[in-house]
Amino acid sequence: DSGVTQTPKHLITATGQRVTLRCSPRSGDLSVYWYQQSLDQGLQFLIQYYNGEERAKGNILERFSAQQFPDLHSELNLSSLELGDSALYFCASGRPPGSEQFFGPGTRLTVL
């Protein structure tokens, strides 16, 4: 158990809908990273938050947004969902100066 929690485990929804994925980092970790894993793209970085502030953006679509709250949990919002958004979404947490990241169990999103 990495100490990172994610909810829900599974989400099944329809195209055009909006969903929210939630992540709680390990105790003491101030940074949260979101990654998307699809069969053909591997693990792709989406966005990083550090102590409530956006720190870095990767290949995140404009339809996607995220935030980190004062209690350090983070939410990833996906809107106007398309079939191609079906993937595993992972949250990871870490703390400086270390570079290692610890991953949660993921949320499997299926868009029908």
Query: How near is the Cβ of 16 to other proteins at its closest, in Å?
Result: 26
Instruction: Report the DSSP pairing between strands 107-111 and 10-13.
Output: parallel
Query: How near is the Cβ of 105 to other proteins at its closest, in Å?
Result: 5
Q: Which is nearer to other proteins, 64 or 90 (CB)?
A: 90
Q: How many CB atoms sit inside 10 A of residue 39's CB? A: 8
> What Rg value do the Cα atoms of the chain yield, rounded?
13
Query: How near is the Cβ of 58 to other proteins at its closest, in Å?
Result: 6
Q: Which is nearer to other proteins, 16 or 58 (CB)?
A: 58
SS3 40: coil
CB 109 within 8 A of CB 9: no
Interaction site with other proteins (CB under 8 A): 2, 4, 31, 33, 35, 42-43, 45, 48, 55-56, 58, 88, 90, 92, 94, 96-106, 108
